[in-house]
Each structure stands twice: as structure tokens, then as C-alpha cells.
Amino acid sequence: VKVALLGFGTVGSHVARILATDAKDLQLTHVFNRGVERKKVDWLPDVRWTDNADHVLSSDADIVVEVMGGREPAGTYVRRALESGKSVVTANKQLIANDGTALLELARERGVHLSYEASVAGGIPVVRALREGLSGDRLHRVSGVLNGTCNYILTRMGEAGATFESALAEAQALGFAEADPTDDVDGFDARAKLCILARVALGLDVSPGEVACRTIRDLRDVDFMYAQRLGCTIRQVSRVERLDDGSVVAWVQPAIVASGSPLARVTGSENVVLTSGVHGGETAFSGRGAGGGPTAVAVVSDLVAIARRGGQRNVSSPAVSRPSSVTAEFSAPHYLRFVVTDQPVIIARLATILATHRINIDAVFQAPGMSKDALPFVVTLEACDPAQVNAALAEMLRLDFNVAPPFWMPMLG
């Protein structure tokens, strides 16, 4: 089976290495990359190197591997490969999350395969596990820690008392975070993966623009101290749930999670995906979510699966449907952190506003010995909706004792 690579970066070069050393039935024939001269390596002597994508798309390669990233021109190349009867393997989460429905339909029409195991949770074979291993269950919820960069930062803040800024700088120095960390820390990377999981696990076509994301940039080291007092820690959690009325709750945000829970146990740059099924209950998949080697293994596994099917046409891709609506509203206890100049009646004024919005306080925490000029303290709330919390916070923002805007996050059971 002849394979051509679009992109020879971190993942592409690892894929080539595996194909050159360990995949005897798969033959790498072409490598495409811009400025390809600087990419050439002597351990791939029989490969045609090109910076013209047409050379790949009009070649006799059976499968095209797209590991360039970005929606364009990767999307155009993938479309052209499928149209010309080639199967495609991609690691591109933004492409599959945004354009997956149309591309999978095109692959089905042409009778070729479009596989994307590497696009979510890198080295954890979760797409195949969900599609095959759990296909006997009726899954209704998927949640997880889907972004290794955020998890590295939050683990360092929790364990080493690092600030967000220093943990991010450390992640960048170690190569876990990009120079521009926006996609990771603001949740866009995780929500693309969440949409792919919604498709595979729940049969739902949810687009990234419909999923509310909240950044982890607003977390402070004191949040980890208070979380610890609650027997918890903090994770960037992604969650999608199908409700009985056909609507969907989907979001990506920082959340308080119990210390012993599967979401808390995944540390450093690892990922975890949790599924809830009607018959099988909860299942967890965890491991390395990224990295050239693990991601390349996922790509090559897709290649092997396609090769094993021989010339068998792909005539069906699993059916997906649109939810009646997508919302971030779900009832949960909440954590509110305030930073104030200390003065009497603060709690009374906050309690009055919360009562107006029919929100009950569960507990108030104030660590001793903090500066009275910028005093951080926490109020935890009994179960309520984010809309209630936001309405209350809009009023609280106007209170004169705030030194910084109040910060909130849900507390997951």
C-alpha cells in the first residue's frame, strides 16, 4: 500500500520513521512540504520530496496522510485526495471538528476511507475504542481532560504553587506550549477535540462555534489552595452530554474536581477521556494525549487498519444528527473567588445578592494571614445554573470592595 505524506514536521517525521522501520506492508512514496529542501533526510532514500501538492494528489499513492495542520490549504488537499479516490488519514482536529461532516460524506460517496484517530487524545486510541469497543452501549456523556498544555500548567500550579505565568513559561520552555498559547489555554483546542468525541461517541454533529469555552488564564495560585481545602484540585474539563429532549450541554472550562477522581488523577501533559453509558456505566481512557511518537502511532494504526481492509470500499460512515440546541447551562455547585479590600458587611452584601437570585451559600473560606488590602476568599454555592451565577456576578462586579473581578467555576461531583 503506497502512502504519501502532506507535512513533514513533528508528527509527519515520526510517521515516516515508523513507516521506514516497522511497517513493511506500507511504502512511503512521497513527502510534500513547503521549502522541502530543508526537510530532506538521508534515511528516506527512495522517497520523492516535493513542494508541489499536485505531485502527491496526482500520484499513484493509495493513502494520503495529512499532518500539516490548519483548515486551509489542508482542507482543499484532503478534499482533492478523496475526490481522486484516495483514502486519507489526518491528525487535524480543527479540520475534522469543523468540516468533518462534509469530508466524511465525500469519503463515503467515493467509497474511500477518512480516518482521524490522531486528531483527538493523540496517543490514546479512543476513536476506535468508542466506535468499536463501546458500540454496544448507548453513551450519553463524554468528558475529559483533552489538552495536555493546560493540564501541565494546572498540575504545576497545584503541586508546585506556581503562578499561571510561570507555569506557562515552563511549559513553553519544555516544548509543551506554543509561543502563542491561545488555542490551548483559552480552550479552542479542547473544544475541537470535544466536537470530534461528540461525533464518535454520541453520534452528534456539534460545531466548535457552538461550544462555550472559558480560559484558564484567570486562575490564581490561591484557587489551588482553596481547592485543596475542599479535597479537590482544578482541571480544564471538556464535557458534552445528550439530554432526553434532544438538546446538548457542551462546554470547556476550568472546574473544581475531587482529588481522587479520574479527572484529577491525570497529571502533567496527559489526557483522559471518560464516557458514561446507559448499560456499561463509566469507562476511562487515559494516556499521552500528544507528542510526535504517540501521535504518529495513532496515524500509522489508521494506515494499518485501512491497509488490512484491502480494496474494500467504505460504504458507510456512522450516522450523526444535529442536536435541537447546544447550551452551556447545567446545574452544579459553584466556586466563587473574590479579592477584596477588607471591610465589614462584605459577606452580608454578597449573601443579599445571591439570595435575590435564589442561590444558596454552602460554605465560606478565608485563609488566615492574607493581606487585608487584597484579601482573597471563597464562597461555595449549592447547585445552581451558570446563568444564575452570571446574573449575580454582574451585580457583584459593581461592589466597591472588589480589588479584582470575582472568578467562578463549577464544582464537579
- Verify binding: residue 144, ligand NAP, rule CB under 6 A: no
**Strand ranges inside 211-315, DSSP E:** 212-213, 232-242, 248-258, 270-277, 281-288
Question: Which residue, 104 or 378, is less far from ligand NAP as judged by CB?
Answer: 104
Burial (0-12, 13-18, 19+ Cβ within 10 Å), 260: exposed
Residue whose CB is less far from ligand NAP, 93 or 110: 93
Rounded CA-CA distance 210/97 in Å is 11
193 is an active site residue: yes
Options 2, 49, 69, 83; binder of ligand NAP; rule CB under 6 A: 69
Query: What H or E segment, with its residue span, contains residue 384?
Result: strand 375-384
Residue type present at position 124: I
**Cβ 106 to ligand NAP shortest distance, Å:** 19
Question: Considering the complex, what minimum distance in angstroms separates the CB of residue 178 from ligand NAP?
Answer: 10
DSSP letter, residue 47: P
Q: Per CB under 6 A, which region of 246-254, 288-296, 311-319, 372-380 contacts ligand NAP? A: 288-296
1, 62 Cβ separation under 8 angstroms = yes
Residue with cell 454520541: 202
- Here's the x/- map for ligand NAP, 290-329, by CB under 6 A: it reads as xxx--x----------------------------------
The Cβ of residue 133 has, within 10 Å, a number of other Cβ atoms equal to: 14
Q: Does 68 bind ligand NAP (CB under 6 A)?
A: yes
Q: How far apart are alpha carbons 194 and 285 in whole angstroms?
A: 14
Q: How far is the CB of 302 from ligand NAP (least distance, A)?
A: 12
Q: Which residue lies nearer to ligand NAP by CB, 151 or 295?
A: 295
**Under rule CB under 6 A, residue 34 binds ligand NAP:** yes
Based on the shown chain and the rule CB under 6 A, indicate whether residue 176 belongs to the binding site for ligand NAP. Answer: no
Among the listed ranges 68-76, 101-109, 230-238, 304-312, the one in contact with ligand NAP (CB under 6 A) is 68-76
| Adjacent-strand bridge partners of 380 | 335, 363
Provide the minimum distance between the beta carbon of 380 and ligand NAP in the complex, in angstroms, as a whole number. 36
* 277 near ligand NAP (CB under 6 A): no
Best CA proximity match to 13, nearest among 89, 49, 57, 67: 67
Which stretches of 13-84 are assigned E, i.e. beta strand? Answer: 27-32, 48-50, 63-66
| Binding test (CB under 6 A) with ligand NAP, winner from 24, 35, 42, 368 | 35
Tracing cell 456576578 back to the chain, one arrives at 393
- Residue number, 133 or 292, with CB nearest to ligand NAP: 292
Q: Do the beta carbons of residue 263 and residue 145 sit within 8 Å?
A: yes
Stretch that binds ligand NAP, among 125-133, 202-210, 243-251, 285-293 (CB under 6 A): 285-293
**In the bound complex, which residue of the shown chain has the CB atom lying closest to ligand NAP?**
9
Select 137 or 178, whichever has its Cβ closest to ligand NAP: 178
How many residues at the interface with ligand NAP, by CB under 6 A?
22
Q: Quick count: other Cβ atoms within 10 Å of Cβ 319? A: 7
The nearest distance, CB 125 to ligand NAP, in angstroms, is 13
Rounded to a whole number of angstroms, the minimum distance from the CB of residue 292 to ligand NAP is 6
- Does residue 93 touch ligand NAP according to CB under 6 A? yes
Q: Which is nearer to ligand NAP, 296 or 332 (CB)?
A: 296
Nearest residue to 242 (alpha-carbon basis) of 292, 203, 214: 203
Write down the number of H helices and E strands in the chain.
Answer: 14, 17
Could you give the count of Cα atoms lying within 13 Å of 60 in the half-sphere of its Cβ? Answer: 2
Q: How far is the CB of 84 from ligand NAP (least distance, A)?
A: 19
**Angle at 240 (CA atoms; ends 154, 334), nearest 5 degrees:** 55
**Catalytic entry in 39, 86, 93, 193:** 193
Catalytic sites, residue numbers: 193
- Positions that interact with ligand NAP (CB under 6 A): 7-12, 33-35, 67-69, 73, 91-93, 118, 122, 290-292, 295
